[in-house]
Structure 1
Amino acid sequence: MGNVIPHSVFSEFDINLFKSGKHYRLYEKLGSHPMEVNGEKGTYFAVWAPSAKAVSVVGDFNYWLEGDHKLNVRWDASGIWEGFIPGVKPGTKYKYKIHSHNQDIKTEKADPFARYSEQPPKTASVVWDKTYKWKDKKWMDTRKEKNSLDAPYSVYEVHLGSWKKNEKNEFLTYEELSKDLVAYVKEMNFTHVEFMPVMEYPYDPSWGYQLTGYFAPTSRFGEPEGLKLLIDTLHQNGIGVILDWVPSHFPEDAHGLGFFDGSSLYEHPDRRRGYHPDWKSLIFNYGRNEVRAFLISNALFWLDQYHVDGLRVDAVASMLYLDYSRDEGEWEPNIYGNNENLEAISLIRELNEEVYKSFEGVQTIAEESTSFSMVSRPVSIGGLGFGMKWMMGWMHDSLEYFKKEPVYRRHHQNDLTFSMTYAFTENFMLPFSHDEVVYGKQSLLYKMPGDEWQRFANLRLLFGYMFTHPGTNLLFMGAEFGQSSEWNFEQSLDWHLLQYEFHDGVRQLVKDLNKFYRDHPALFEKQFSSEGFQWIDYGDHENSVLTYMRKGHKEEDDLVIACNFTPVPREKYRIGVPRSGQFKEVFNTDAKKYGGSGSKNTIRKTSKKSWHGKDHSIEVTIPPLGMVVFL
């Protein structure tokens, strides 16, 4: 290999943007980029390491020896080291050997901007330059309407490593998933998939939430083009793709971002703001311009290079509060004396503004568990700028209610009705995520009380209630067929359960609920507006019955919904309705094909008997532990 040839792809304008934290396409400049310089093929390397006094590229092309291929530091105080090495080809494994001014420390680091990495537990970066020819133009041209806030949005959350494995208990490849997973998601009528982090991570039990390769899809399932094929195939089948994205923290692994150039480069130097006690990981320095540019560039990278339709931002609450998971004396207030992390809030707003400005038809979704206000409101009116926010309170209250034996539920109806007091303060997504089925919390099915029939009926009712509650929906894989055991990332879902009638009944129910949601505008046109919901009666505690309406733009689309949270059928149950005429049952979670008792309603004609403040009413049967919808 030849020596390092001085070369740069940075203009003065690039450097000024980088220093000011406004360079949002850093992946086009930093990292390793195969190219031709002066007629020679090789690779250009660029890395940010301002505390270094020397940086060498070491790899399988130079026997991992330091000093043979030293990069040149730029003269402009940007802290960027760069150079072109002739003969270094795509597929070459490499790292940066960084000799720091700080106490003469040496670190050996993976490239923060690498597009590909060795498969863990190996840790080297890989020079990568393959091209992929996308075939999803139709989706990209029309996705704005598919991803809008008044469109159906039903998400299947997937951990790629454990959705399904092959006969040898090995991971499926991206290519295999592009066949099996896509066909399944399409059959189940989900509108979107959400992948738990696909960026490179060293430790399987972290499920991908401790990242070391922010720009590299994990090599566990194949090459980067495989992930592009998976996303492309989903798009060609009309399915949107959301990626989990983790700007909240990163691990201390030796090859990762921590203590990168012998200094606290990416992490905040004050451990009260730079270390996460819950996850024993490091927290980004959100006030450092170059770190802000790194994070925003990374978010845009996945939208740009991988055509993703949304980012679900992990652990937003931990970013917003300086005292998150900290006791008194373990944190320092901001300049106003309170607990908000002003630098993180500023970054989030800047990120969301840039995402929505640069990419049409995408969404950012906040996993945020507190009552921080205006998370999903525009930055222009003082919000954080997310498109949606997870409704963690609804999830918690609903599961607490459903865990109770039906005989006690009449004392706790407020657990279900309380969500409507704040349902329209944000654009809420209703999540039953992976977090609810791990660490001894049991599967959704086994949270339910009663005998086998009642457990499954409760689960079907929970899903029926979820899909008719205002907001968008998210289900973690396995929930859709009533997985019995907790999720285990080391093994496949229990697909064998589908041979049993009750499990297959739940799967059929979720499939039909997804279709029902997509087919009925009353469930999505005003899903974030109080105009889209109206209580009929939330006060029938004694019978544990809720009745309500969902409304679309047209009155003829309005739905009347009744839920019975006890195993006692409610026969000749009178409901006030908004108009005279006939009402037809259009969905019933108690149908025999779902494993229910088969209770159903024929067409119901209204009577002029006033009820629930309405001039007209109907008498119906609400099935045991069932939800029924009338149109």
Structure 2
Amino acid sequence: MSETVGVYSLFTEFDISLFRSGKHFKLYEKLGSHCLTHEGERGVYFAVWAPNAQAVSVIGNFNGWNSTSHHLHVRWDSSGIWEGFIPGLESGEVYKYHILSNTGEILQKADPFALCNETPPRTASVVANTWYEWDDTSWMQNRKATNALDRPFSVYEMHIGSWARDAEEPDRFLSYREIADRLVPYIKEMGFTHVEFMPVMEHPYYPSWGYQITGYFAASSRYGSAQDLMFLIEQLHQNDIGVILDWVPSHFPGDAHGLYRFDGSHLFEHEDPRKGYHPDWKSYIFNYGRNEVRSFLISNAFFWLERYHIDGLRVDAVASMLYLDYSREEGQWEPNIYGGRENLEAVHFFREFNEAVYSHFPDVQTIAEESTSWPGVTTPTFSNGLGFGMKWMMGWMHDTLNYFKEDPINRKYHHQHMTFATVYGFHENFMLPLSHDEVVYGKQSMIYKMPGDEWQKFANLRALYLYMYTFIGTKLLFMGGEFAQTAEWNVNQSLDWHLTQYAPHSGMQKFVKALNALYRSEPALYEKGFSNEGFQWIELGDQENSIFVYLRRGHDEENDVLVVVNLTPVLREYRMAVPSPGTWQVILNSDDLKFYGSGSQQGNVESDAISWMNFDNSIQVNLPPLGGLVLKRV
């Protein structure tokens, strides 16, 4: 054993006990590389979990990548942790672990707990720290109210590498700090309450969009340092904008330097390929039944919430984790102990994850991307639920887009696609997503999903957005959708910002800004967003005219908001019921000229004592073609 590696440990016996029982949720404070002073000498302490290794050494530029000079010591307690202190090293040192497995296999692995990795395609880890002098105290102290389920929650989903590029160097990524200069004022101007970043964790394959992660604790160095990302988050917080991260505990790639067969054994992934290999993504599935793996994953969630002040985690591909037969044919999966297809280990993991997150960070949100009818995704764990804060409403998204793709002349035959969501819409705390997945792989951009000529396409999309923002649940819109990007999303280039100089696109942008302002200013649109007390159909059966009328309610009846949407290209005089007598004012018209509408007008309208649709009062309004009105009693 080399004398240049000192015997030293950050672990206590209690740490080891927690780790082995799956209850250590801050492993990043122990495992990985840490600059410190030991016996008067500055250097770096290394610790790595490799229980099936014969030997582990640290290799890097500092020793010419010599695997024999700096061997780590294995702990005596059978934890499988190798550790040691190397004097003279400092932040910025590039390294990997050289692992000799029990079977004699030689592996060179990046540090699973590295706080920084080399910029791809290079794959080594870099000694770094996450120290940052935060200046977002006001946000952190008050975000509980902003992040609450009865507050407006309007999310702008984006991919950092393709949101914008330098006009003079279109192949160059903007840094986190350069993004901050452009993004923060834009989001503030547009009125979104939150930004959701697609995965920022280090991933070697850029076209994976960040979903094939090798460095779970490292912000991608393509865009700068950890502190640069923290600056971006801080700037958003200083402008009262929350930050959600995409988090991927569902699978990881098989890159030679990554987690796969880390110590020559199936350490992080399940050894049974029926549980450990994902046929769709050609990647590997975490072993949720292994205590140390659960500690790794929950520690990773804690890391981003604690060190980066993240306000929420959107958990990717939850359905793929919950079902043993996900994307598998008969004979390719094994039932659980009760003969079912539920992955009981993953269910236990989600419950433990949500309990741990909400107990330590009660003012954040966890959001499940879950596409099935699994019961109780957002039900508390004490009521046998999974414990998430919100769930993506994938059924609403599919039904709504299928409806809007139809030529208006055919929409009367698909009327139920627009009304069905309220049959199940209050079973969960739903978020309405129009996400990145809907504008790739030949699905077309949002604007080109719409039928008709140019004007009709834009009118249809404005009507869709109005319906989305005034319907139940919280909201998510993918970048580019707010100004009707015409091309599908391309991860290798910037959004087509030049389109905003043209009236149809600038009109759409102004309309989304108006929708965010409406959503944030009208309590009826968010106070009871997950309750049937907050929504009432006034007219849901007029399929001949493709008209929908509904009421949104908050805590105060005076704030009730009435919404009517006409999804045919016909200007109509239309009588509809109102819940109470008085004067009703149009507070938003999707057909306004400033939004590139046709300019149809509807001023204040006094109710008539004419019984209509089981209500005592009604009003006569001019409905815009392919448009909608939002009204409020004055």
CA distance in 1, matches of 2:60, 2:601: 69
Alignment of 1:162-241 (within 5 A): 162-166=162-166, 167-169=168-170, 170-241=172-243
* Partner SS state of residue 324, structure 1: coil
1:15 alignment partner AA: I
1:514 matched to 2:541: no
1:356 alignment partner AA: Y
CA distance in 2, matches of 1:561, 1:185: 26
CA distance in 2, matches of 1:129, 1:269: 33
CA distance in 1, matches of 2:622, 2:424: 30
1:149 alignment partner AA: L
Residue 140 of structure 1 corresponds to 140
How far off is 1:130 after superposition?
5.4
Residue 580 of structure 2 corresponds to 579
2:231 alignment partner AA: L
How far off is 1:286 after superposition?
0.4
Residue 125 of structure 2 corresponds to 125
In the alignment, structure 1 segments of 5+ residues that lack a partner are none
1:105 matched to 2:89: no
309, 322, 325: which one aligns with 2:324: 322
Residue 439 of structure 1 corresponds to 441
How far off is 1:617 after superposition?
0.6
1:329 alignment partner AA: G
CA distance in 2, matches of 1:137, 1:277: 45
Query: CA separation of 1:130/1:248 partners in 2, compared to 1, >3 Å: closer, same or farther?
Result: closer
Q: Is the 8 A contact 2:322 2:346 kept in 1?
A: yes
Q: Deviation digits for residues 565-615 of structure 1, max 9, x if unmatched? A: 0000111x1111111110001111100000001112111001110001111
Residue 309 of structure 2 corresponds to 307
How far off is 1:484 after superposition?
0.3
1:607 matched to 2:611: no
2:627 alignment partner AA: G
CA distance in 1, matches of 2:557, 2:3: 74
* Partner SS state of residue 216, structure 1: strand
1:533 matched to 2:535: yes
CA distance in 2, matches of 1:2, 1:27: 26
CA distance in 1, matches of 2:518, 2:90: 52
2:349 alignment partner AA: L
Q: Is the 8 A contact 2:483 2:505 kept in 1?
A: yes
Residue 589 of structure 1 corresponds to 590
Alignment of 1:558-577 (within 5 A): 558-571=560-573, 573-577=574-578
CA distance in 2, matches of 1:2, 1:513: 66
Q: Is the 8 A contact 1:21 1:292 kept in 2?
A: yes
Q: Deviation digits for residues 535-593 of structure 1, max 9, x if unmatched? A: 0010001111000000010011001110000000111x111111111000111110000
Q: Is the 8 A contact 1:117 1:126 kept in 2?
A: yes
CA distance in 1, matches of 2:582, 2:392: 39
Q: Is the 8 A contact 1:95 1:124 kept in 2?
A: yes
Q: Is the 8 A contact 2:115 2:130 kept in 1?
A: no
Residue 404 of structure 2 corresponds to 402
TM-score normalized by the length of structure 2: 0.99
1:59 matched to 2:60: yes
Alignment of 1:25-424 (within 5 A): 25-101=26-102, 103-129=103-129, 131-166=131-166, 167-169=168-170, 170-424=172-426
* Partner SS state of residue 219, structure 1: coil
Residue 6 of structure 2 corresponds to 5
CA distance in 1, matches of 2:269, 2:3: 35
Query: CA separation of 1:340/1:130 partners in 2, compared to 1, >3 Å: closer, same or farther?
Result: closer
TM-score normalized by the length of structure 1: 0.99
Q: Deviation digits for residues 258-304 of structure 1, max 9, x if unmatched? A: 00000000000001100000000000000000000000000010000
Number of equivalences: 629
Query: CA separation of 1:161/1:362 partners in 2, compared to 1, >3 Å: closer, same or farther?
Result: same
1:582 alignment partner AA: T
Q: Is the 8 A contact 1:316 1:367 kept in 2?
A: yes
* Partner SS state of residue 596, structure 1: coil
1:40 alignment partner AA: E
Q: Which moved more, 1:145-154 or 1:573-582?
A: 573-582
Runs of 4+ in 1 over 4 A off after TM superposition: none
Q: Deviation digits for residues 161-189 of structure 1, max 9, x if unmatched? A: 00000020111101111110111111100
Q: Is the 8 A contact 2:130 2:307 kept in 1?
A: no
How far off is 1:411 after superposition?
1.0
Alignment of 1:480-559 (within 5 A): 480-559=482-561
CA distance in 2, matches of 1:576, 1:238: 39
2:580 alignment partner AA: R
CA RMSD of aligned residues (A): 0.7
Q: Deviation digits for residues 326-364 of structure 1, max 9, x if unmatched? A: 000000000000100000110010000000000131000
* Partner SS state of residue 66, structure 1: coil
In the alignment, structure 2 segments of 5+ residues that lack a partner are none
How far off is 1:253 after superposition?
0.2
Residue 630 of structure 2 corresponds to 629
Q: Is the 8 A contact 1:209 1:246 kept in 2?
A: yes
How far off is 1:93 after superposition?
0.3
1:542 alignment partner AA: E
Q: Is the 8 A contact 1:2 1:87 kept in 2?
A: no
